[in-house]
Structure 1
Amino acid sequence: MFKKSILLIFSVVVLILGGCGASESSSGGDSSKSDPSKEDKKLLSDEEFEKMFSEPKKYKGSGVDFYARVFIEPERDSDGTYLQAFANNHDERNVVIMSEDPSLEIASEDIIHVKGVIKDTFEGENAFGGQVTAPAILAETVEVSDYQTAFAPAKETIELNEEQNQHGYILEVQKVELADQETRVYVKVSNEMDAKINFYSFDAKLTADGKQLEEEMNYDAGYQEVQSDILPGVESEGIIVFPAIPEEMTEFTLYFEGSSENWELTLEPFVFDVVLP
């Protein structure tokens, strides 16, 4: 029997998915080693998946394909790995997931891509006395993903790969990704000077149609950031996020500023014109 842990929910889920009896029993199945790929399942559409949270039992046996963020450290035993996550990065879309892989390398805060089958509804208490109601899902596959793939996919990608060099301070805009939620600019700064250089992403600007957009921090995404202090011979790269731009926009301009600790040098703003295909 799976040992008790800080979240009682996981030990209960083993019973639900294994058909060994729980507050909500599973339908059919001859063992906890059921093969979801052999079940006659209909894959839920995005709209049906959202509706499913209000009445999970109605969708038992249905296939699901979704992204989620793990919010509790996974539990494991010899039968598998047990996860609790927020589907679609929404804290009201709690799901309980079992993978039959005990060695699954997933950690709390990981963003995952899950394909599987809805087995039942879990209803119970966690170790803190809180009520938990969530779809119980038996996973076919669980893979680690990233924020931009899962929750803010690019509608358009502009491969710019353009660099500007001022006295050995090199700034390259690698690409720009346009998503419904945000605009992502991939930047690399290289220091070929003899002195330390500085780069501050909050000085970056995006201008178009007479409007100026500032950097918009997305702490939830955990994007890599360009370092602010860069020593000689070092390069640093990261993602700068701006608000989403209107679909009808055909071009815009990016402005970046940098400085050097060699005060004899003057650096002008780095300016890049981006034309959408």
Structure 2
Amino acid sequence: MNKNIFITGMCVLVLMMGLAACERQSNEEQSVSQESAPAVSEEQATPLSKEEFEQMYSDPVRFKGRSVDFYAKVATDPSKESNAIYIQAYVDPKNSEKNTMIGYADSSLNVKEDDFIHVTGTVADEYVGENVYGEELTAPAIEADKIEKTDYATAVAPALKTIKVNKIVKQHGYVMTLQKVEFAEEETRFYLSIENKSKDTINFNLYHTKLIQGSKQFEPEDSYYGTDYPELQSDILPGIKTEGILRFEGVDLSKGNLKMIAEGSSENYNLNFDPFKFIISTR
């Protein structure tokens, strides 16, 4: 990507974000092309370490030319030109922080606000501007070599361990299947499906679901805000199957096996249901 185009496009994007000004590097620096750039060193080819990546946000210029590999959430709909796309993204999407400007020489990329992306590329420069209060704002400007759409779990809470369960519990045509469990640092994800093979509407109540480990009980998260996780439906008609992810806080696998207990019911009040129980061995 031509560096002049990259910086110009990034200025347009920052103005869309409400910044009042965009400071550019000197004309001499802007005129440097890819053809005249020196060969990439081994250090430049190696992606920034976690510590270096954190340092980049306070001093992007120090890391110019270095490779990066990161996940982010698109903060606003990108700006496009005929041959490039310019993206503002948050590398810390949970707190809407670590603002990052990304330029990519492929305007056909189909991403929009709130999408999660995986980016590889190089640090192009520091991006400087002012907000409406006159306060200086800075952000790394990244020239992307590749951008791929991904999901919340991969970008924000990657699984450290996955256990395939595929256990089915059936009662009166109420079929509950625990497919797998993913353990991330900050959350535990249960992939569950419920199928109604009865003649009556059946019900699932999230708030009656519990996760037990030893003497500790965990409650399910009731908010899916900011994620793209599918939610289980609560009222399931005959012949319908619903699938979703139940979220609990992160657990310590060294503390022993887990037991998930869920409750189901039917609008046929003559039927009695025992709790649906699943044991997950963490060994």
Instruction: Name the TM tier (shorter chain).
Output: 0.7 to 0.9
Cα distance between partner residues in 2 of 1:207 and 1:35? 62
Equivalent residue number for residue 8 of structure 1: 15
Q: Counterparts of 1:1-277 in structure 2 under 5 Å?
A: 7-8=14-15, 23-25=24-26, 26=29, 29-30=32-33, 39-40=40-41, 41=44, 42-89=46-93, 90-125=95-130, 131-216=136-221, 217-277=223-283
- Which residues of structure 1 form unaligned runs of 5+? 17-21
- Which residues of structure 2 form unaligned runs of 5+? none
Moved over 6 A (4+): 1-6, 127-130
Cα distance between partner residues in 2 of 1:209 and 1:110? 38
Q: Matched residue pairs, number?
A: 265
My pick for the range that moved more, 186-195 or 203-212, is 203-212
Cα distance between partner residues in 2 of 1:138 and 1:77? 15
Cα distance between partner residues in 1 of 2:86 and 2:69? 17
**TM-fit CA distance, 1:91:** 2.6
Cα distance between partner residues in 1 of 2:36 and 2:235? 53
Cα distance between partner residues in 1 of 2:171 and 2:253? 34
- Output the TM-score relative to the length of structure 1: 0.87
Contact 1:152 1:180 (C-alpha < 8 Å) held by counterparts: yes
Identity of aligned residues (%): 39
Cα distance between partner residues in 1 of 2:12 and 2:238? 50
**TM-fit CA distance, 1:136:** 0.5
- Output the TM-score relative to the length of structure 2: 0.86
Cα distance between partner residues in 2 of 1:35 and 1:193? 71
Structure 2 letter corresponding to 1:224? P
Cα distance between partner residues in 2 of 1:187 and 1:128? 49
Q: Indicate the RMSD between aligned Cα atoms, in angstroms.
A: 2.6
- 1:6–1:55: structure 2 CA closer, same or farther, 3 Å change rule? closer
Deviations, residues 225-256 of structure 1 (Å, cap 9, x unaligned): 10111111000000001111113122011000
